[in-house]
Each structure stands twice: as C-alpha cells, then as structure tokens.
Structure 1
Amino acid sequence: MAAIKHISSTQNPEIRQLEHWNRKSRDRIRDGRFVLEGLRELQLALKGGYRPEKLYFCPEIVSEQQLREVPGLGQYPLVSLSPEVYRHLAYRGKTEGVIGLVPTRSHDLATLVFRRESPLVLVAEAPEKPGNIGALLRTADAAGLDAVLIADLQGDLYNPNVIRSSVGCLFTVPVGVGSSQEVLAFLRHRGMQVLAASLGGAVRYDRADYTGPTALVVGTEADGLTRLWQEEADARVEIPMAGAIDSMNVSVAAAILIFEAMRQRGFGP
C-alpha cells in the first residue's frame, strides 16, 4: 500500500493531534488511542493482537518498501513525514523511522485467560512510576507469567515511558486492571493463593511454597502494601536485607519473588 499523503509541517492538525495523544494521558484515555514508536514495538503489538489505524514514517530513515516487507505492517495506511516533522514527533532519541497510531485495549479482569492450570501472576498495588510498571512487565515477560494485575492504577498504561521501559512487553503479557477489592475478589474466585511482600512478621521468601496457583503482591516503594492486602493475604513473605535501608526497588523485589517461584516450578535448564 503506497503512502496516502505526505506531511511537511509541524503545525499540521494531524501532527498536533498525535502530539496530544503522545503527551497527554487525559487525551489517550478519552479517545482510546496511543502513539507507538519503533519497529520492534509495533511488531510486538501486532503479535499481541493490536491493530494500528495508521502508520507514519520518515522515508529518509525507512522506506515504504522496507515497511511493506515487515510481516503484518504492509496492510495499514501509510503517511510519510519530513525529517523535521518526524524529529518533532518522535519521543525517543534513537528511532527506526516509524510511528503507529494504535487503539487502546480493554484490560478488564474478566477477559483474562490463564494458560496454565496452576497460574502464577503478579499483582502490583498502586504503582506510581511508569518506569516501574514497565520494569515489572519486562520481568513478567522474561518469566512467562500468566498475567500482571494492576490494582488501583495511578496513571495510564499507555504512557510512552511505560512502553519504552517495558521494551514492548506491555503487548506480550496479559494485563488486567481493577480496584484492589476487584483484583482480590478475582483471585479468590480463581482459587489462588495470595502472597504479599512485606516487612516484619513474614516468612522468608524462599521458604514459602509457590507451586500452587499463586498471586505475588507487591506495593509501592514508599509505603509498601495497604492494610487490605496485608490482612487478606494467605501469607506474607519477606526478602532479608543486610544493609542500612529497609526496602528496595519494587521491580527488583518482584523479580526476586517471581524467579524463586519459577525455580520451585522447575524453570530453567
């Protein structure tokens, strides 16, 4: 499919609308659209079932022919951009010359389907930093988790920093979003053990049993988990620390718990 038009002005209404979707969470949520930059990320999104409405590319970086040769991309409308417009629109410093306008998806808990009879999921309560959400998704992908559940989401899943820090794993990991009460009810309905990361009064993390259907719950770095999760959990698990501080980055803590669970399940060579 040939390019349907060429845009050479940064003041073009279409470019200005893309800027709003790229930079303003309110507009993304209201319109159900997000801007996705990078060939690898677009390929992962396609694999995850996302379907771009339109692709914008800079011919000086990537040609129409090159895009047509990428499996799955050639069927979407193409708009060429001048180098000035592309640099203006691109979010990342290093880029591959292509940007997609993509509809968001529903992350309703009821749509989640686990691939294993004994699922392992990660629950993140009120993660406040896009970089942490992205890092959690990247770890979840590496471990092949059944899902990541975000309780009381504080921002927007389609924030460019979430996508960038997850290196596209937002599209490869099943993600469910709901309130803490909704997520807890979902886990109980699925008969899952709930293990909450905590400090004090908790079992050492490598002495817990993760082999049954399990949800690992982590909280914010500043405050940890709220009372709801600490009281409703089947057990609290603790990662021993020998330094002066009493907490670590939430994505690091989650990775330790996840890969201990995977070790117990026979993950690895």
Structure 2
Amino acid sequence: MIKEISSTQNPTIKSLAALQDKARERRKSGEFLIEGVREINLALQAGFQLTRILFCDAIANAEELQLLQSKLDENITQIAVTEEVYKKIAYRSTTEGIVVSAKAKQNQLNDLQLPENPLILVAEAPEKPGNIGALLRTADAAGVDAFILANPLTDLYNPNIIRSSVGGVFTTQIATGTTEEVLTYLKAKNIAIYAAVLQEAISYEKQDFISPTAIVVGTEADGLSEEWRKESTQNIIIPMQGKIDSMNVSVAASILIFEARRQRGFKK
C-alpha cells in the first residue's frame, strides 16, 4: 500500500527532514537518507536495510521508480509526496524525485572482512564532507579492501558525503575508530603502516607496498598526529616540485594509493 503525504508539516516529513539536516538525529535514530537512483541501488547491493521510500511522481522517472520498487522488500513503507514536500526533504537542488531512509551500519573495525594481503586507506580526522567523499571515490577507484576513518569529525552518513562520494560510501568496506584503536587493529593484523608525514620520511616511489599495507593520510592543515609518525612502519612523502608545500588530502591519497595499486597490479 502506498501512502500519500501533501503537507510539509506532517510529522513523518519533519522527522525525515531532521535526518537530512542534523547529525544528532541520525545518531539518535540510527537511520539516514539516501537520495538518487544510483546511490540507492549501490546501497541495496551493499546490503543496507531500507526502511522507507518516498517519491514524487512529478519528478521521478516512472520506469526507474518501478524498477527500484521491484527490488524492495514488500513490507517497506512507500510514500508518494508532492513537489513541495519532496523539496523539503531533498538535499540536492537537482534531483531524481526518489529518497529512501536506511539503517546505518556500525562500521566497527572488527567487522572488516580482509583478504590475506589487504590494501587499506586510512584518513585521520578529515572534517570536510567533500574531502571525505573524494577519499571514498579514490578508495573505490583503486579497489582498496577497506577505508578507515580515524578520529572522525563528521558522521559518515552526512548527506554531503553521500553526494560527494557519488555513492562510494556504499561500495567500499568502511570502519571508524580512534587513532589508538586503528593503530592497535592494524598492528594486530600485521599490516604495515605507511604514514604520509614529512619527518623521517622517504619518497613514496621508493617504498614497496606489496605486502599487507595501510596508507595513512591526515588533513592539509594539521597533517597526521604524532602517534602515526612514531608507530608507522615507514613515513613517506610526495616530493613537491613547486613553492606550495602541501596538496589536497584526496589528491595526495590518490597518488599514494594508486602507486600501491600499480605495484600490486591492477585488477581486471
């Protein structure tokens, strides 16, 4: 059965709008919103549990909507809304007329399923959702086995992360933890730690990334914390040819992770 909602003051719409706008509400409810057909399909493929689907017939492509509905559990709540209501809950200015709510995953380190020789990207304390989204796109493009956020400052299901990652938040295994927890985890798994820091570092081009590897990057403003420099297997740098001594964290991560992928051979 499909419900219909035409009022922006409807309690369900208000609660969904809060999920879109407030990290506190996402943490409290354990749910978040996914907007866009591609992103929703990626979430389904990744095993996320959807709880509701909202759609606006005036905006949504009927064929895409019908195909998506055919993939959903028969017990999921389906809600048809007006354009005014849809715009209240939509994050994007250009949109496809379909939004779902989904249950967040716990993203625990111990839940990661790693192969025998993993390649992992770790980012410490990235704050800007756009940077996190770009890092997730890099992780997906390079086919890393896991992406780990150490000391995260932004919740993983921020709508801007979902948007800027183009759904990459659903395509790679992700875990979060404190820097201490992540270090302990990597050491317990005998994964070599290569930290992108200036001190006591060698050029990334001289480092062998063939064995189990975690490449760790920090923010442009603060870099990595002291723990990574002290506990890393080897510190690595990207030699800079210009007058500016830093680059965007997602760009740096791309250079490093694709060098590791090159050494290991690209997947076919």
For the superposition of Structure 1 and Structure 2, which TM-score range results when normalised by the shorter chain?
A: over 0.9
Letter in structure 2 aligned against 1:31: S
Compute the displacement of 1:231 (Å). 0.7
CA contact (8 A) 2:37 2:64 kept: no
Compute the displacement of 1:229 (Å). 0.3
Letter in structure 2 aligned against 1:91: Y
CA shift in 2, pair 1:14/1:193, >3 Å? same
Compute the displacement of 1:64 (Å). 6.3
- State the alpha-carbon separation in 1 of the partners of residues 217 and 104 from structure 2: 26
Letter in structure 2 aligned against 1:104: A
Letter in structure 1 aligned against 2:35: E
Letter in structure 2 aligned against 1:14: T
User: Is 1:267 aligned to 2:245, yes or no?
Assistant: no
The 5 A counterparts of 1:130-145 are 130-145=129-144
CA deviation vs aligned residue, 1:182-207 (integer Å, no higher than 9, x gap): 10010001101100001243110111
CA contact (8 A) 2:35 2:100 kept: yes
TM-score between the two structures when normalised by the length of structure 1: 0.95
Find the residue that maps to 1:142 and give its secondary structure.
Answer: helix
Tell me the residue number matched to 2:106: 106
Compute the displacement of 1:104 (Å). 0.6
Tell me the residue number matched to 2:11: 13
Compute the displacement of 1:62 (Å). 2.4
Compute the displacement of 1:60 (Å). 1.1
Tell me the residue number matched to 1:218: 217
- State the alpha-carbon separation in 2 of the partners of residues 63 and 6 from structure 1: 18
Tell me the residue number matched to 1:84: 84
- State the alpha-carbon separation in 1 of the partners of residues 73 and 127 from structure 2: 37
CA deviation vs aligned residue, 1:29-48 (integer Å, no higher than 9, x gap): 11101011111110000001
Identity among equivalent pairs (%)? 50
Compute the displacement of 1:74 (Å). 6.4
Tell me the residue number matched to 1:94: 94
Tell me the residue number matched to 1:251: 250
- State the alpha-carbon separation in 2 of the partners of residues 63 and 258 from structure 1: 38
Find the residue that maps to 1:100 and give its secondary structure.
Answer: strand
CA deviation vs aligned residue, 1:8-62 (integer Å, no higher than 9, x gap): 1111111111111100001101110101111111000000110110100001122
Find the residue that maps to 1:203 and give its secondary structure.
Answer: strand
Compute the displacement of 1:245 (Å). 1.3
Find the residue that maps to 1:195 and give its secondary structure.
Answer: strand
Letter in structure 2 aligned against 1:139: T
- State the alpha-carbon separation in 1 of the partners of residues 253 and 47 from structure 2: 27
User: Is 1:39 aligned to 2:37, yes or no?
Assistant: yes
Compute the displacement of 1:268 (Å). 6.4
- State the alpha-carbon separation in 1 of the partners of residues 106 and 89 from structure 2: 26
Find the residue that maps to 1:11 and give its secondary structure.
Answer: coil
Find the residue that maps to 1:141 and give its secondary structure.
Answer: helix
CA contact (8 A) 1:121 1:216 kept: yes
Name the stretch that deviates more: 221-230 or 66-75: 66-75
- State the alpha-carbon separation in 2 of the partners of residues 130 and 66 from structure 1: 28
CA shift in 2, pair 1:62/1:74, >3 Å? farther
- State the alpha-carbon separation in 1 of the partners of residues 200 and 13 from structure 2: 54
CA contact (8 A) 1:67 1:73 kept: no
- State the alpha-carbon separation in 2 of the partners of residues 55 and 135 from structure 1: 27
- State the alpha-carbon separation in 1 of the partners of residues 139 and 236 from structure 2: 19
Unaligned segments of structure 1, at least 5 residues? none
Tell me the residue number matched to 2:190: 191
Letter in structure 2 aligned against 1:176: A
CA contact (8 A) 1:67 1:74 kept: no
Find the residue that maps to 1:154 and give its secondary structure.
Answer: coil
The 5 A counterparts of 1:120-131 are 120-131=119-130
- State the alpha-carbon separation in 1 of the partners of residues 195 and 36 from structure 2: 36
Tell me the residue number matched to 2:28: 30
- State the alpha-carbon separation in 2 of the partners of residues 51 and 37 from structure 1: 15
Name the stretch that deviates more: 73-82 or 252-261: 73-82
Letter in structure 2 aligned against 1:93: S
RMSD (Å), alpha carbons: 1.4
TM-score between the two structures when normalised by the length of structure 2: 0.96
- State the alpha-carbon separation in 2 of the partners of residues 138 and 261 from structure 1: 16
